[in-house]
Chains A and B, each alone.
Chain A
């Protein structure tokens, strides 16, 4: 991805070189991966060693980043967390042959943290060079599209329906049903749009996927196009993701050059091309109709439904709107089979979910598992408990509109219906942990502030209600007649839930209501 990374075309000449993977993932870079990469290049040159540096995605074990993997005679051996200052010592320890060192992690895939995961959507993330079409194809890429092109559009849609895949952006709507609606429309132009706005705090799976395996998203969008007769696609990417932007742009160009995009996709005679459009820092633009307004170059004001985007979406044409993870999972479904995918999971939550552990957690990162494990398993077995070492008091699941779940409910299963059963929601699968120093009344105020800040302004309960909500929590924080103000806050929440046009105003009360339900003492006992 950077100047001296060797591309596959050069590989023949570099067969004797030792391949070293240094993540180009934004999270790894935020911890110094670029300096590590430069140090490795410099040390190798000084020692006359032939090293081929590949900028891979992250494995998702962020407590080990920058995590460097060396392809040695002993296999792929990881070292981490590596700083630039560690690099000379690692060479001294003979790490290119997998030598012993305090930072030696061994083969990542044998760590219980990794080995117990079920990585389907994230199968290739961290393993491959994200910008190499050849690497992608060598790891099973484009088999799904090949299969889709051999089927009728209706059969592709049926496969997606049979897999049980539900939208991973938050609303969990069955993907196949959405695609069927678009397929059924008679129109001269249809679109596939990817929602890459990923605005929820505690979520980063879209980012990791786009940076670590962008071709799976491109392939997923292409399959969606083939299945519904769309010829143009847009990825609506949040402006806060400049690294993902660079990688997506490079990958789209690569796919076009290899004719996986363009006028004749894989020699099928079918046309599909796509481009990235940047958002501009508005959380509401993750709501699908607001996203479409924004893609059309307007204020991101929510549209009244009906019509559904599947009937009348972008520029008035039938449009698929799906999340990054939803679309990137489709190639695996086509490749492995819908029934294989549906074989994972529980109840109406089929398949796997890339879960993101964040906040006050010791081992933050990405865990992909079939639906049906408990929050406790995630927080303690994968996450290792809080980073501070204090008890985890609450987790917020599903972003800023998601409920706070108290420790007493950590045996709840990760499953859309099980979480709905305790008044929570899974959303995009982000889990943010808070230790016992958290002040839940302040978190409630933040929820209202965020809604006020991000409201599109179209309806009163959201626009005015959120500002009123901030004022009420301020009173409570100041200890002013808390009983009365808590009662008013509860009434206000009810009005917002009932009267808002979209999920922002309609769900922003969820964190507040759950905080009031489970942590009432934080509101009433102010001194």
Chain B
């Protein structure tokens, strides 16, 4: 298992101090770690388990149960394409296929240059404007393949996105 860097363990330590005495804190801790480090490094599991009086298996079990948590770093830009029914009804699957081809990766993968990761999502609550895509936390509606290309190009050039 990869060891944490010293800044990473500091971050995890700070998060644990902040959350450990709250009721049922594990999900909150994992969210905070992922928000700070981009993912939940396997090397953090032991620290989290010790601080919260859980077994490593408990912590690992929670990380793997939830689709949201990733154990490897994401791309610089995260692309989520909705694959649920409302988006399927207006070309969502063709859009998903286009995203794969355009980025040259499958879902749950990251491009070799580390720029993009592609993930499926099952409804973004934007079903009146399907098909929907979320890029770096920004929601987009009625996304055609051409529009997706433009959004990806924009993400690639624009460095400071909210």
Measured between beta carbons, the chain A residues less than 8 angstroms from B31 are 239, 278, 280
Considering the complex, give the chain A residue whose CB is closest to the CB of B137: A242
* Size bracket, chain A contacts: 35 or more
Q: Are B126 and A297 in contact (CB under 8 A)?
A: no
Known A62-B129, A202-B86, A280-B68; further 6 A-B contacts with Cβ < 8 A: A199-B122, A200-B123, A204-B126, A281-B68, A356-B128, A359-B85
Min CB distance, A316 to chain B, in Å? Answer: 11
Query: A-facing mask of B109-130, CB < 8 A → 1, else 0?
Result: 0000000000001111111111
26 contacts between A and B (CB under 8 A): A27-B128, A27-B139, A31-B141, A201-B86, A203-B127, A204-B126, A239-B68, A241-B125, A277-B28, A280-B27, A280-B30, A280-B66, A280-B68, A281-B121, A298-B24, A299-B62, A300-B66, A356-B128, A358-B130, A359-B90, A359-B130, A360-B90, A364-B129, A432-B89, A432-B127, A443-B85
Ordered nearest first, which 7 A-B pairs have the shortest CB separation? A364-B128, A297-B26, A358-B127, A280-B66, A201-B84, A359-B89, A281-B68
- Interface residues in A1-59 by Cβ distance below 8 A to B read 26-27, 29-31
Measured between beta carbons, the chain A residues less than 8 angstroms from B134 are 240
Measured between beta carbons, the chain A residues less than 8 angstroms from B140 are 30
Interface residue? B88 (CB, 8 A): yes
Among B26, B27, B125, B130, which residue has the most Cβ atoms of chain A within 10 A?
B125
Considering the complex, give the chain B residue whose CB is closest to the CB of A282: B66
Interface residue? A283 (CB, 8 A): yes
| Docked complex Cα distance between A434 and B132 (Å) | 16
- Interface residues in A235-264 by Cβ distance below 8 A to B read 239-243
Interface residue? B25 (CB, 8 A): yes
Measured between beta carbons, the chain B residues less than 8 angstroms from A207 are 125
Min CB distance, A106 to chain B, in Å? Answer: 21
| Docked complex Cα distance between A396 and B62 (Å) | 32
Interface residue? B39 (CB, 8 A): no
Partner of B128, one of A294, A296, A358, A450: A358
Considering the complex, give the chain A residue whose CB is closest to the CB of B61: A299
Q: Are A29 and B85 in contact (CB under 8 A)?
A: no
Once A240-B121, A243-B139, A280-B66 are accepted as A-B contacts, the answer to whether A356 and B27 lie under 8 Å apart by CB is no
| Docked complex Cα distance between A280 and B88 (Å) | 23
Partner of B129, one of A30, A283, A360, A438: A30
| Docked complex Cα distance between A299 and B67 (Å) | 11
Q: Are A359 and B25 in contact (CB under 8 A)?
A: no
Q: Are B68 and A202 in contact (CB under 8 A)?
A: no
Q: Are B125 and A26 in contact (CB under 8 A)?
A: yes
Interface residue? A173 (CB, 8 A): no
Measured between beta carbons, the chain B residues less than 8 angstroms from A240 are 121, 123-125, 134
Q: Are A201 and B122 in contact (CB under 8 A)?
A: yes
Interface residue? A507 (CB, 8 A): no
| Docked complex Cα distance between A356 and B123 (Å) | 14
| Docked complex Cα distance between A297 and B32 (Å) | 13
- Interface residues in A293-312 by Cβ distance below 8 A to B read 294-300
- Interface residues in B1-32 by Cβ distance below 8 A to A read 23-28, 30-31
Query: B-facing mask of A420-432, CB < 8 A → 1, else 0?
Result: 0000000000101
Q: Are A204 and B128 in contact (CB under 8 A)?
A: yes
Q: Are A300 and B65 in contact (CB under 8 A)?
A: yes
A-B contact count, CB below 8 Å?
Answer: 152
Min CB distance, B17 to chain A, in Å? Answer: 17
Q: Are B89 and A27 in contact (CB under 8 A)?
A: no
Considering the complex, give the chain B residue whose CB is closest to the CB of A60: B128
| Docked complex Cα distance between A356 and B89 (Å) | 15
Interface residue? A223 (CB, 8 A): no
Q: Are A298 and B125 in contact (CB under 8 A)?
A: no
Considering the complex, give the chain A residue whose CB is closest to the CB of B162: A34
Measured between beta carbons, the chain A residues less than 8 angstroms from B129 are 27, 30-31, 62, 65, 364
| Docked complex Cα distance between A400 and B62 (Å) | 24
Min CB distance, B42 to chain A, in Å? Answer: 17
Q: Are A298 and B26 in contact (CB under 8 A)?
A: yes
Measured between beta carbons, the chain A residues less than 8 angstroms from B124 are 240
| Docked complex Cα distance between A204 and B141 (Å) | 13
Considering the complex, give the chain A residue whose CB is closest to the CB of B23: A315
Partner of B126, one of A30, A200, A315: A30
Min CB distance, A199 to chain B, in Å? Answer: 7
| Docked complex Cα distance between A434 and B88 (Å) | 9
Measured between beta carbons, the chain B residues less than 8 angstroms from A219 are none
Among B24, B121, B140, which residue has the most Cβ atoms of chain A within 10 A?
B24
Q: Are A396 and B123 in contact (CB under 8 A)?
A: no
Interface residue? B142 (CB, 8 A): yes
Measured between beta carbons, the chain B residues less than 8 angstroms from A29 are 138-139
Once A299-B61, A315-B23 are accepted as A-B contacts, the answer to whether A204 and B66 lie under 8 Å apart by CB is no
Measured between beta carbons, the chain B residues less than 8 angstroms from A297 are 24-28, 62
Interface residue? A387 (CB, 8 A): yes
Interface residue? A198 (CB, 8 A): yes
Interface residue? A506 (CB, 8 A): no
Min CB distance, A297 to chain B, in Å? Answer: 3
| Docked complex Cα distance between A295 and B90 (Å) | 35
| Docked complex Cα distance between A400 and B68 (Å) | 20
Q: Are A446 and B86 in contact (CB under 8 A)?
A: no
Min CB distance, A170 to chain B, in Å? Answer: 14
| Docked complex Cα distance between A203 and B84 (Å) | 11
Measured between beta carbons, the chain A residues less than 8 angstroms from B87 are 201
Min CB distance, B23 to chain A, in Å? Answer: 6
Interface residue? A365 (CB, 8 A): yes
| Docked complex Cα distance between A49 and B26 (Å) | 51
Q: Are B125 and A434 in contact (CB under 8 A)?
A: no
Min CB distance, B39 to chain A, in Å? Answer: 13
